[in-house]
Amino acid sequence: MSTRTPIAGHPDLTEIRQRYEAAAETPTAQVAVGMTMLAGLFVALSPWITGFSAATPSLALNNLVIGLAAAVLALSFAAAYQHTHGIAWTCPVLGAWTVVSVFVMSGTALTATTVLSNVIGGAVLVLAGAGLMGSAMTSRSRNT
């Protein structure tokens, strides 16, 4: 019978954690986390900021949920990027849904401010999420 090393003490695991900690400390990753947080909060509050919450309550609820989810993701990336880097792909998906949802859920109450707030908020989420994914990929390819 062979003796196995526990995974927690495996040298590769330690190296991977150090690599992702280094990736989280780069200015690109820090800016991406901050932009994800700000975009998430904007998307969550945009129905009340731009005034379309009464006209399209389903879109307002959608924006609140999507925005808060993005903000919570940003907090988790800031707190423990080495553990949460694998779900960075969700930010661009949330951003893309934010852009598409304004056309799917607003119905006849489509206004310029509603479209602009969702498109801008969604685009920032997509770009910030791509920056988060890019920092993880760059650190992975640099060290392999």
pLDDT at residue 46, as a whole number: 94
Q: Delimit the domains of the chain by residue range.
A: 12-143
Q: What are 52's two structure tokens?
A: 């379309």
Q: What are 135's two structure tokens?
A: 């920092």
Structural element, H or E, at residue 17? helix 11-24
Whether the predicted model's global pTM rises above the 0.95 cut: no
pLDDT at residue 138, as a whole number: 61
Averaged over successive runs of 10 residues, the pLDDT of the chain (144 residues) comes to 59 61 69 92 95 89 96 88 77 96 84 93 94 69 50
pLDDT at residue 54, as a whole number: 86
